Amino acid sequence: MATMKEQLFRVKPVPARGTEDDEHGLKRSIGLFPLTMIGVGGTIGTGIFFILSEAVPVAGPAVIWSFVIAAVVAGLSALCYAELAGSVPVSGSSYSYAYTTLGELPAMGVAACLLLEYGVSTAAVAVGWSQYVNQLLGNLFGFQLPEALSYAPEEGGIVNLPAVILILLCALLLISGTSHSAITNTIMVVIKISVLIFFVAVGLTGWNADHFADFAPFGLSGVMTGAGIIFFSFVGLDAVATAGDEAKNPRKNLPIAIISALVIVTVVYVLVAIAGLGAQEAEKFDGQSAGLSAILETIIGASWPGTIVAIGAVISIFSVTLVVLYGQTRILFAMSKDGMAPKIFQTVHPRTMTPVPNTIIVAVVVAILAGVLPINFLAEMTSIGTLAAFLVVSIAVMVLRRREPGLERSFTVPFYPVIPILSIIGCLWIIKDLRPITIIVFAVWTAVFLVWYFFTGRKNSVLGKELDTAAEVAAR
């Protein structure tokens, strides 16, 4: 019988090269371009269509640096993700990476981060969607949904109905098949990038350099707080890694897709932030609904540019919700295979080859969160979950380098170990500037999750049972 320490830190073996195509219940149907679009689709969305209204009031025009800092930290972490994705090409993202490097207990800590990160971020982007739906309804048909059906109770409403509907629509699409979802996402990503390029082009025509005169009214602290709020939008980079079991040639395509998505996202984010702040004073962003649409309507003096952006936002945020909901279900799928979640989460429909019960359960829970919680709380909770996951991935790279130096890696982090160390420092730097309530809620959630693991998951561990069986055979 293994000791307590051996149980808590037992490590899954790294899959041997060539075994990533073994039967595991899911179908490998996602190529390089759709994989990259999963990263872009899961990142560009509420983060730029909505979050300026949350981040500019705390950072001022220096929110541009908030985006850059968030992107740099995400970029450092993305390089670490790329190395692990090429070495451990399985679903589960940083949960699976932690399981193969740090052990079972740390992996469950990461799982707590990921479930918070994905579940809450799906709710957050869905909440932002409702504002642009109302903007679009107003421009096209002259009416909007009543506030009681458009906002959470804390914001003066009863339920955010559009957010609930969005999540249920995404769940139906995911249930229909992964390849269908990937194709739909790719189309939506192309549309939303085109709309954002349109925003930048029109926004620059309203350029006013005076808007940058008081560039950083809240100093470095404001910039870092802004980076913490913005960081939740980079969850899409992690979503690429959750597709490990469904990606074609994962050891090659996963690293390329992660890095390509980061470059595309960063360029788009910074250009949109510059154009938006050049066209509108920082003070007007506070509390502004459907901000990008409002900016263009002010510049042109007509509603049609805002309508185009609203259409792009509706499509864009649909894409983000789809990708992040997908990531949540695949993490639970990986945990279920390991015995860390109920078996229902790994049940795959024989026709669609998708985890249908898993998707339904996740959609219902997330829809409830989106319907009743405000976006500012959801955004910060997502940020700390994302940062914690990124931090663990950076540590895992260094552990795996030391433990298995001869492991074949299709991509290696450059300037090792400087990049992983800088990634860890960057994550901790942003975390320290989050609100105390965010950190407290995160700590309580993680502690409760680990208690559940100690009494339930530890005993049901598939790896633990395999090791115990092997030990009994060896002792005979």
- pLDDT score of 275: 92
- pLDDT score of 23: 45
Note whether 464 and 458 are within 8 A (CB).
Answer: yes
The crossing angle, in degrees rounded to 10, of helices 304-337 and 94-101 is 30
Structure tokens, 102 = 């740090």
Question: Could you tell me what percent of the chain has a pLDDT over 90?
Answer: 9
Note whether 244 and 90 are within 8 A (CB).
Answer: yes
- pLDDT score of 98: 87
Is residue 112 pLDDT above 80, yes or no?
Answer: yes
Report the first-to-last Cα separation within the chain, whole angstroms.
Answer: 14
Is residue 111 pLDDT above 70, yes or no?
Answer: yes
- pLDDT score of 16: 60
- pLDDT score of 271: 92
Specify the DSSP class assigned to residue 454.
I
- CB neighbours of residue 469 within 10 Å: 10
- pLDDT score of 421: 94
What mean pLDDT comes out for the span 9-14? 84
Is residue 243 pLDDT above 80, yes or no?
Answer: no
Contact residues for 197 (Cβ-Cβ < 8 A; gap 6+): none
What mean pLDDT comes out for the span 34-62? 80
pLDDT band of residue 357 (cuts 50, 70, 90) is: very high
d(CA 272, CA 277): 9
- pLDDT score of 319: 81
Is residue 7 pLDDT above 50, yes or no?
Answer: yes
What mean pLDDT comes out for the span 432-460? 85
Note whether 82 and 91 are within 8 A (CB).
Answer: no
pLDDT band of residue 21 (cuts 50, 70, 90) is: very low
Is residue 308 pLDDT above 80, yes or no?
Answer: yes
- pLDDT score of 418: 94
In sign, the C-alpha dihedral spanning 338, 246, 26, 122 is positive
- pLDDT score of 420: 93
Is residue 46 pLDDT above 70, yes or no?
Answer: no
Specify the DSSP class assigned to residue 16.
P
What are the phi and psi torsion angles at 352 (to 5°)?
A: -85, -15
- pLDDT score of 153: 74
What mean pLDDT comes out for the span 409-419? 88
If DSSP codes are grouped into helix, strand and coil, which group holds residue 30? strand
Note whether 299 and 424 are within 8 A (CB).
Answer: no
Residue type at 154? Answer: E
What mean pLDDT comes out for the span 99-115? 87
Structure tokens, 307 = 């309508």
Q: In 323-453, where do the E strands start and end?
A: none
The position carrying tokens 């960057």 is 426
- pLDDT score of 398: 93
Per-residue pLDDT tens over the stretch 202-224: 889 889 999 998 898 888 888 98
- pLDDT score of 262: 86
The mean of the pLDDT values for the chain is 82
Note whether 156 and 8 are within 8 A (CB).
Answer: no
- pLDDT score of 141: 83
What mean pLDDT comes out for the span 80-102? 80
Note whether 52 and 60 are within 8 A (CB).
Answer: no
d(CA 292, CA 297): 9
- pLDDT score of 22: 47
Is residue 75 pLDDT above 70, yes or no?
Answer: yes
Q: Write the CA distances from 327 to 114, 123, 322, integer angstroms.
A: 9, 13, 9
Highest mean pLDDT among 40-49, 135-144, 425-434, 456-465 belongs to: 456-465
